[in-house]
Amino acid sequence: MASEAVIVIENLRKSFGNLHVLQGVDLTVNQNENVVVLGRSGTGKSVLIKILVGLLKPDSGYVSVLGQEVETLKGRELDQFRQKVGFSFQNSALYDSMSIRENLEFPLVRNVRNLSRAEIDRAVEEALDDVGLSQTINQMPSELSGGQRKRIGIARTLILKPEIMLYDEPTAGLDPITCIDINNLINEVKERYKATSIIITHDLTCAKATGDRVAMLLDGKFERVGTFDDVFADSDERVQQFYNYNFVN
C-alpha cells in the first residue's frame, strides 16, 4: 500500500528583494518518512520550513500540510494546525526567562484547556524522559549546554505530540558525539511518535543517519531527490563538491 503524502509542495517560489531564494520547489513527503533537505548556507532551506509552518508567506506556489493549504489558514485555524507541527529551531529558541519546566509547560497550558496540575507534570516529565534530560527540569536554559538545549527544544515540541516535525539544523554547532545523540533522537521520534519529519541540515553525517530520502537544494530547486547513496552517486560537480567537503565515507 502506498504511503499517504502529508506534505505537498508544488512550484514554490520565494524572493527577498532581488534575492530569489526558492525558484520553483517541488517536494512530496509521505507519512512517517524522514526527508533531509541539504544545501549550502543561504540557499533557502530554513525559509522552506518556515513557509511550511506559516511563519513566512510564499510569493507563489502551493503548499499543503496534513491536507490543509497553509497560506489560507488564519487565527484559531492556524493555531490548531500549528499544534500538529513541531518546529525545532536552529538555536533551540528556549524562552530565557522561563525554567525548563515552564518552557515545556508553555505550549501545553496554552493549547490544551482544563489540564490538571498532575497531568501537566506528567506530560513534562514524559517529554523530558524522551530526550533523556529529566534532571534539568528546574534549571534555566542558560545553565544548559548546546546539545542539552537542542534536546530540550525538541522535547518542547514533542509535548503536543506533533504529527510532523521540522528540524532546522539540529546538529549545527555541536560536537560529533552530541551530533550522534541528536541523530538517534530524531530516529527515536520517528519510531515512537510515528512522526513525519523534514530535517534541514548541511551535515552529511546527520543526513545519512536520519534521512529516508535526501533532497538537495541547488539554485533554488530540488534538483536531486532520492536515497542518500543515489543522490551522491551523481557526478554533478555541485553535488560532489558538497560531498567532498563533508568528508563522509
Partner 1 sequence: MLSDTKASPAPPPEKPAEPGRLTRLFLSLADVASFVGRFFREAFLPPYEFGEIVRQCYEVGYRSLLLISTTGFITGIVFTNQSRPSLSEFGATSWLPSLIAIAIVRALGPLVTALIAAGKVGSSIGAELGSMNVTEQIDAMEVSGTDPFKFLVVSRVLATSFTIPILTFYTIFVALIGAFINVNANEQTSFPSFMQEVFGAVTFLDIFASLFKSIFFGFTIGIVGCYKGFHSSKGTEGVGKAANAAVVTSMFLIFIEELLALQIISALRGS
Closest CA to 52 of 209, 131, 135, 165: 165
State in angstroms the smallest separation of the CB of 240 from partner 1: 27
Placement of cell 502551493 in the chain: 62
Q: Is 60 in the site for partner 1 (CB under 8 A)?
A: no
Q: Which is nearer to partner 1, 86 or 231 (CB)?
A: 86
Question: Phi/psi of residue 34, each to 5°?
Answer: -100, 115
Minimum CB–partner distance for residue 226 and partner 1 (Å): 29
**Stretch of 1-9, 76-84, 127-135, 198-206 contacting partner 1, by CB under 8 A:** 76-84
Strands 213-218 and 221-226: antiparallel
Q: How many CA atoms lie less than 13 Å away from 186 in the CB half-sphere?
A: 32
Q: How far, in Å, CA of 192 to CA of 163, rounded?
A: 11
79 binds partner 1 (CB under 8 A): yes
Sign of the alpha-carbon dihedral angle for 185, 91, 218, 236: negative
Residue whose grid cell is 531564494:
21
Is 16 near partner 1 (CB under 8 A)?
Answer: no
Cell numbers at 209, concatenated:
543517519
The reply on whether position 85 binds partner 1 by CB under 8 A is yes
- Span interacting with partner 1, options 62-70, 85-93, 114-122, 200-208, rule CB under 8 A: 85-93
Asked if 145 touches partner 1 (CB under 8 A), the answer is: no
State the minimum distance, in angstroms, from the CB of residue 225 to partner 1. 26
Considering only the stretches 3-11, 60-68, 82-90, 187-195, report the one whose residues sit in contact with partner 1 under the rule CB under 8 A: 82-90
Stretch of residues binding partner 1 (CB under 8 A), selected from 83-91, 114-122, 207-215, 241-249: 83-91
The residue (of 17 and 176) whose beta carbon lies closer to partner 1 is 17
| DSSP letter, residue 225 | E
Site for partner 1, residues 87 to 126, rule: CB under 8 A: 87, 89-91, 93-97, 106-107, 110-111
- Does residue number 50 form part of the binding site for partner 1 (CB under 8 A)? yes
Residue 34: which H helix or E strand, with range?
strand 34-38
CA 229 to chain CA centroid, Å, is: 22
Q: CA–CA separation, 12 vs 23, rounded Å?
A: 7
Residues that bind partner 1 (CB under 8 A): 17-18, 50, 53, 55, 79-80, 82-83, 85, 87, 89-91, 93-97, 106-107, 110-111, 156-157, 160
